[in-house]
Structure 1
Amino acid sequence: MKEKETKRDKFVRLAEARTNKIIDMLQLLGNCSNSNVYDYTQQDVDKIFNAIDAEVKEAKKKFSKIESKKSTRFTLD
């Protein structure tokens, strides 16, 4: 019989998978920096990374048990 997954085991499994997914997505986002293929402004870049920074701060607050707000979807326009 299979042992029941502990809360710690579940956290490690999910946190690793989700963290790696975020890292993969950031690497894909970095591919958008190729100015031979894409046209963007510094304002676009600042807006993207401000949104990402804000979400990282909100996620950290949740781990600190500090009240966080639900964010909205990101758009450049």
Structure 2
Amino acid sequence: MSKENRDRFVRVAGPRVNKVLKALDSLEKCSNTYNYMYSEEDVDKMYGAIKSRLELLKKSFEKGLMKNNSEFKF
């Protein structure tokens, strides 16, 4: 890997990780039962979707592959 490729990865990946972390913080706000109503099944579906995507992400980095961009739906 060239230094240029490494520098580009660091420059691009850092902000993208921070964006994901901010999105997770935003999603956590939905746990407030004063403002939202949800079931354990809803939580399991959300967590399952996130966990599956993280597993695909890890595999992509292990194999250098890209996966599709499917969206989550209840």
- Matched residue, 1:51: 49
Segments of structure 1 that go 5 or more residues without pairing to the other structure are none
Counterpart check, 1:41 vs 2:51: no
Superposed CA RMSD in Å reads 1.8
Q: In the alignment, which of 26, 29, 32 is matched to residue 28 of structure 1?
A: 26
Which of these two proteins has the greater Rg computed from alpha carbons?
Answer: 1
- Matched residue, 1:19: 17
Q: Number of matched residues?
A: 72
Paired with 2:53 and 2:17, the residues of 1 have a C-alpha distance of: 14
Q: Secondary structure at the match of 1:45?
A: helix
Larger proportion of helix: 2
Paired with 2:66 and 2:10, the residues of 1 have a C-alpha distance of: 23
Offset at 1:6? 1.1
- TM-score with structure 1 setting the length: 0.85
List, as ranges, runs of 4+ consecutive aligned residues in structure 1 with deviation greater than 6 Å.
Answer: none
Identical aligned pairs, as a percentage? 39
